[in-house]
Chains A and B, each alone.
Chain A
């Protein structure tokens, strides 16, 4: 069986930052593996460990600079990685969920996975829609916001918990092949071992252009155009206590006492 996991490099932004045009100035940005994808990778690797003959392949849309991040997934147990990049994707600007899903669907068409795991959302653009769009493009079943997964390969069913709002989980049986979008908390993502990190260096990381995966670069066009980026205005009118920790703590203690909070 083959599991395809979509992984993405996301930008983590410093506490203080400056905006340069339509992007955050590079100086304030660090690259990281998307938090939700880490849980998806772990879920795939756990299935691999529990069953015979499972291959875990990662798929990424991104330039070569993202290779280092992708290797984190390889170091944690994925078998090989695929990365798709093309100038046309760079030119398309803001990639909407449909465009991303189209590219990932082309990769999936080549790989023919039995299960696709994606993160619920990415920490930077937060669309939360690529996984389900991908499922529909692949004509696969799906489940969004999965925080518990029990796979019955013989029956061809994934019994999942979908985490709804307000501390309620929906218990659902999903026919596989399927795309599941994975929520944090489903497992406890492992740290990459030194051995894993060493092994990751020699694992295959294939790079494809759009043409390589059968897509027409001219057809890549995002219908969404980002026209501005700004820091949201603070709506808050919080009273901020100033001074040393002892001074601010004393002020807060006084306030809490006023509010009737005491032991």
Chain B
């Protein structure tokens, strides 16, 4: 029995979820009375391996292959590692790249896959907690299998900081090149605008509650009145109502202003990932159950089309 956590890195840096997995994995390993292994594939594996050697980790497997993530390579390597180590629980990140190989690995290993878990325990069989309907409801799931694959939601577990004394071992994977049918050509930063929202002290952030592009006028008016910058949730950017680099969230920018005013934003996990570090969070939303109120410091549970104009008036 063991737990195996697959690390993630991009452009020379280990991503935080790699260390969060070690916290989740250590808890699971304790419940199972087993070892915790972690593995890193590609890039500067020596440096990554040393970084992953944290308290509670029994072994770090380094796979010196390629520079950046390629799902065909990862799928083959992780399948081989898991076949060799035969972990009870195989942990992978519920990141964009995690979702680009974890399902294929689970399929090849013939293991059930539970994605985006926010809590997990192995005390009495494997039980995972997930969210449904955009975080409106939560569910527990019993996994009826001896071995499973799980992807964990980033930023739900603490990172393990203390150094460890794990065995660091190189793992030799054999890659079937004919099965590598994708080629990563490079990376591109999204742009489109003229302003860096990460610099702003005050952000007026607008979501789908605004309904129509024309209605954005009141948001710009509010931002003018507050000497603030306008940012937004994803649907606004998808609609082309705001430039791409005004998007706050997992796939947008991470912002930490003094004041973040979320107007008509539900607070989906991918949005919250980009703004939860703001000093003071204010939410204006008609839905008192909107998840945004879970992280807001101040809230107005009312119609933005009434509150925003009244607020603008206060500053005139």
Whether B251 lies near A236 (C-beta < 8 A) is: no
Could you show 17 A-B contacts with beta carbons less than 8 Å apart? A96-B112, A125-B132, A127-B113, A129-B102, A129-B115, A137-B107, A143-B71, A143-B100, A143-B182, A167-B247, A234-B293, A235-B294, A238-B294, A249-B307, A252-B311, A259-B258, A261-B202
A65 → B minimal CB distance (Å)? 18
In chain A, what residue has the closest Cβ to B238?
Answer: A185
Which 8 A-B residue pairs are closest in the complex by CB-CB distance?
A249-B310, A253-B314, A185-B238, A132-B103, A245-B306, A223-B112, A144-B100, A15-B287
Instruction: Determine whether B296 belongs to the interface, using a CB cutoff of 8 Å to chain A.
Output: yes
Give the nearest-CB partner of B303 in chain A.
A245
Dominant SS among interface residues on chain B: mixed
A128 within 8 A of B: yes
The answer to whether B116 touches A16, judged by C-beta atoms less than 8 angstroms apart, is: no
Question: How many B residues, CB 8 Å from partner?
Answer: 98
State which of A145, A236, A246 has its C-beta within 8 Å of the C-beta of B96.
A145
B137 and A231 within 8 A (CB): yes
Interface: A196 (CB within 8 A): no
Which residue of B71, B103, B314 contacts A97 across the interface (Cβ within 8 Å)?
B103
Any B CB within 8 A of the CB of A117: no
Q: How many CB-defined contacts (below 8 Å) exist between A and B?
A: 269
- Any B CB within 8 A of the CB of A44: no
Question: Which chain A residue lies CB-closest to B279?
Answer: A259
Chain A residues, Cβ within 8 Å of B72:
141
**Residues in B whose Cβ lies below 8 Å from that of A13:** 133, 136-137
A88 at the interface (CB under 8 A from B): no
Residue A227 interfacial (CB < 8 Å): yes
CB distance from B43 to the nearest CB of A (A): 15
Bound-state CA distance A255–B202 (Å) is 13
* Cβ proximity bits A134-170 to B, threshold 8 Å, 1 near / 0 not: 0111000111110000000000000101111111111
Chain A residues near B290 (CB, 8 Å)? 15
